[in-house]
Amino acid sequence: MNHLACKGQLENSLFWVGELGMYDYSRTYGSSVSIKWLIDLSVSSTCRLVKALLDRGAKYIVVQSLPPTGCLPFDISLSPVSDHDNLGCADTANTVTQTHNELLQAKLAEQQKQYPDSIIAYADIWNAYYTVLKNPSQFGFSEPFKACCGCGKGDLNFDLRSLCGARNTRVCSDPSKHITWDGVHLTEAMHHVLADLLLNKGYCKPSFDQLVKKKRSCTAN
């Protein structure tokens, strides 16, 4: 494929940039790593990737925010009860990821101004996740925090020393009732719900409908 053909393919494609840095933040508990430095590094890495796509001709890019990591069993188990909010999430961990998301949004807005012919949509996983967490039964979940696969320890069914797949772990009877699969990753059911919120319920900014309309209008021209 020659350069022009490749550029044409890039201009006609949708790029979805997933979250970067999510697990790096979780691993800073008890370390001397500067959170500000890590946030700057993570966001700048994401924006460099987006810029590389834009410079090569990409016109349609969706960039995913971080979820509220403090609501996952991994982070909840590492935080003291005094750090838990009214939902039971680790407040400090969520403050970090929220700061990351705010900086990411600001940097993406700057990039959008620099590349007005492209669309950079922000996939707001943070607020989509909280929408589910505040009313889990509405979305079919009865276990918003308890891992489906784990060692059976405590209310979270999570032990950092005995993760899903270890000899003494078991899988729940109905994963679709759980938000989290193993205390770190989400279940297929939760991914399905989040995808619907992002694609159809306005949790992408600009909305996914606007992105599709822009694509169709450009194709028609």
Average of pLDDT values for 187-214?
93
Instruction: Please provide the distance, in angstroms rounded to a whole number, between the alpha carbons at the two ends of the chain.
Output: 24
Average of pLDDT values for 23-38?
82
Q: Tell me which residue has tokens 């600009």.
A: 206
Sorting pLDDT into bands at 50, 70 and 90, what band is 4?
confident
Sorting pLDDT into bands at 50, 70 and 90, what band is 1?
low
Per-residue pLDDT at 2 exceeds 70: no
Q: What is the pLDDT of residue 88?
A: 94
Sorting pLDDT into bands at 50, 70 and 90, what band is 221?
low
Average of pLDDT values for 74-92?
93
What would the 3-class secondary structure string for the chain be?
A: CCHHHHHHHHHCCEEEECCCCHHHHHCCCCCCCCHHHHHHHHHHHHHHHHHHHHHCCCCEEEEECCCCHHHCHHHHHHCCHHHECCCCCEHHHHHHHHHHHHHHHHHHHHHHHHCCCCEEEEECHHHHHHHHHHCHHHHCCCECCCCCEECCCCCCCCCCCCCCCCCCCEECCCHHHECECCCCCECHHHHHHHHHHHHHCCCEECCHHHHHHHHHHHHHC
Q: For residue 180, which amino acid is it?
A: T
Phi, psi for residue 114 in degrees, rounded to 5: -75, -25
> What pTM, to 2 d.p., does this model score?
0.91
Please give the mean pLDDT across all residues of the chain.
Answer: 92
Q: Are strands 119-123 and 204-205 parallel, antiparallel or unpaired?
A: antiparallel
Per-residue pLDDT at 178 exceeds 70: yes
* Residue with more model confidence, 25 or 192: 192
Query: Contact 11/56 with Cβ under 8 angstroms?
Result: no
Average of pLDDT values for 141-145?
98
Q: Tell me which residue has tokens 């350069």.
A: 3
Average of pLDDT values for 194-211?
93
Per-residue pLDDT of 52-82, as tens digits, reads 999 999 999 999 999 999 999 999 999 999 9
Nearest-CA neighbor of 127 among 69, 180, 67, 85? Answer: 67
